[in-house]
Chains A and B, each alone.
Chain A
Amino acid sequence: MSLAIGSLSEFLFGHAPRPVSCGRGLELGKGTVIPEINFTLPAMDIDEATWPEVRRLYAEMIEGVCKRAAELEAPGLLVEFETLPAMTIRPEWGREIVEILATCLHGYYEKHGLKNALRVTPNDTRDFLSPSHMRDGQYWEAMAQLFEMSAAAGADLLSIESTGGKEVCDEALRFGDLRQTIFGLAILGARDMEFLWKHLVGVCSKANIVPAGDSACAFGNTAMVLADQKFIPRVLAAVIRVASVPRSLVAYRMGAAGPSKDCAYEGPYLKAIAGVPISMEGRSSACAHLTHVGNIAQAVCDAWSNESVQQVRLLSAYAPIVSLEQLVYDCRLMNTAAAGSREDAIRLRDWLVESDAALDPQAWVLRPDVVLRIAERIATEPTPYLQTRVAARCAIEEIASAHREGRLRVSPQEIRWIAKIEREVAQLPGQESEFIDEMLATPVAEKFLPGEYGIESVASR
């Protein structure tokens, strides 16, 4: 497989080799960076008694952001509705909110010419059961129903932050166990992605809407947040980020078209390899979580997002409106640079990159030049496991050499982890079957149901 983006000068914000058209006149990756807004409820119960208030709040939030987007003459607006668990478990509730949002978006397109689209992201509730049932049972059925209902009720794009493999990755992250993390990502996660995205692409194809993309949020972002709290080393979080790329790529192999999910910080790799437009978040998502990649995350984005913000009142306006305004101005700057010349766009991209890259290994692995080097190696491998193995190896090599050459700061406490990660990566088996056999013989096997991932259990062999 060759890369969709062959050179650094083509690796820019706003431009993707495979742009996407969706919703009401919205185009992503075709030269203009679009703001993507996400919002959620303030602290409250969701039940029969509060449901009218929930509906009112969503109507208030969408009206607020659309009105401001029109006033600021935003070049377009992507709205993401990420359901809350109650709305996935009871898909009829999720559908009602989709309708409220879609109706408002249609109205703003008709009355104000605001190009827009609605991305619906049902949250993955399959781990309500433990061990998780990934392919059947009440939670999977409700999720699958919500995908179909959303498609019928006005969603223009479907996404998910899927959690297959999380059962083993959570513990692995706490214990800094890269081997177990890779098992969760490359063996369990990749298999679940195949199952899930085959289904999702089918739903979207039937409804003639866009199967957008997934995110390694449950893995890479968990590591990122733990690293921010100094609970795990940043070098480990950086390697896990790159190791999550092959898992997320599976969606595109199965037919997803992008834009990737905003919280998929592995997005630049997805764009380089699959050519899809990507949504990213960084300093704009400080309302949801803190980050050390606030600028660099923006460098090659096609949509620029706030992750999520609660409907709470700030001095100027409600928080979703404030978030939207910040995104619109960020996009306006990028689009102005791009309208100037390619050199201007490259200069802004490089400022975004250089302002973060040397300060944190998690930023370093998002450098466009580093992304292209590692992506090229990933693309040459035939399976998600082998891709993940090489991704982890390349990531730690890039970090180690940049640190040795004085181009990347790594804190003294983390230096011993570079050697530890290099050792662990070197010990990963060359054969996937050998790796699976080995992991199934450990207590890790008790944390998941092999059949739910299409893996034969030891007992049934």
Chain B
Amino acid sequence: MTDLKKLHQAILDGNAKASAEETAHALVAGVDPMTIIEGTMIPAMDEVGRLFECQDYFVPELLLSGRAMKAAMQLLRPLLAKSGAQPVGRVVIGTVKGDLHDIGKNLVASMLEGGGFDVTDLGTDVSPDRFVAAIGEKNADIVCLSALLTVTMPAMKTTIEALERAGVRNKVRVLIGGAPVTLQYAREIGADGYGENANAAVALARELGKGTLRP
């Protein structure tokens, strides 16, 4: 009999090695991959999310749990691919042209990954053209734009205009964030949403995400 409680605990502890080992044991014992995910891994990540929401866990603990889940998923993904399973959503994220600040953007990217999104991080100083190209290449559902400087905020607008010119604006939801950014600014430039912090950004992406959680 396989003890999936150990896998649950490994994810809560952010222990990637134990998470992979317990998943391997479960597969050897013949447990169905979707049962492992839906019966153990998702409840474990929900518990991690709850602990984070009530401020018992900090971001490092949240991310380490995400990493433990990812370690397990590496074993499960090949088995799931055959069933045509899809991620919660596909996200393209980057800091806009002219801006090098990326800690907030990286935080959002990591938390989205932990939440089951397929994330393509384009890095910093990303031109509108690169966003447009990545949307096509990755078949993205959501585009996240980050800026820290008041003088790079306008590049968010330029990027949205580039999406419109390329004819992809109506295929994606655009979320923006960063210290000087406001909800009002998001409305002004025609973004679909604004995340005041990483938590809010992930919650918003979940709300907008397409499909169901089938990693």
Contact = CB atoms under 8 A, between A and B. Distances in A.
A170 B103 contact: yes
Chain A contact patch, size range: 20 to 34
Nearest to A414: B58
Interface stretch (B76-84, B85-93, B146-154): B146-154
A167 to B, nearest CB: 10
Interface stretch (A6-14, A25-33, A40-48, A59-67): A40-48
Interface stretch (B2-10, B94-102, B134-142, B160-168): B94-102
Given A128-B125, A222-B103, A84 B63 contact: no
B115 to A, nearest CB: 15
A174 B106 contact: yes
Contact of B100 (A125, A175, A233): A125
A127 interface: yes
B180 interface: yes
Contacts of A71: none
A310 B150 contact: yes
Interface in B165-198: 179-180, 185, 197-198
Nearest to A232: B58
Given A41-B150, A45-B154, A84-B149, A413 B103 contact: no
B101 to A, nearest CB: 9
A174 B59 contact: yes
Contact of A175 (B55, B63, B149, B197): B63
A44 B150 contact: yes
7 contacts: A44-B154, A84-B149, A86-B98, A173-B103, A175-B60, A177-B60, A232-B60
B43 interface: no
Interface of B: 55-61, 63-64, 98-100, 102-103, 106-107, 110, 123-125, 149-155, 179-180, 185, 197-198
B100 A127 contact: yes
A460 interface: no
A86 B61 CA distance: 37
A51 interface: no
A238 B143 CA distance: 35
B123 A176 contact: no
A84 B106 contact: no
Nearest to A44: B151
Contact of A171 (B58, B106, B125, B150): B106
Contacts of A84: 149, 151
A85 B57 CA distance: 36
Contact of A174 (B103, B154, B155): B103
Contacts of B55: 230, 413
Contact of A170 (B106, B154, B179): B106
A170 B102 contact: yes
Contact of A130 (B56, B106, B123, B198): B123
A231 B151 contact: no
B204 to A, nearest CB: 16
A176 B102 CA distance: 17
Nearest to A233: B58
Nearest to A311: B150
Q: Which of A170, A231, A310 has the largest number of chain B CB atoms within 10 A?
A: A231
A174 B60 contact: yes
A448 B56 CA distance: 33
Contact of A86 (B56, B63, B110, B151): B151
A226 B197 CA distance: 10
A130 B57 CA distance: 31
A232 B151 contact: no
Contacts of B106: 170-171, 174
B31 to A, nearest CB: 30
A355 interface: no
B103 A45 contact: no
Contacts of A232: 58-60
Interface in A76-90: 84-86
Closest 10 CB pairs of A and B: A176-B60, A231-B59, A43-B150, A45-B154, A43-B153, A175-B60, A170-B103, A84-B151, A46-B151, A232-B58
A226 B59 contact: yes
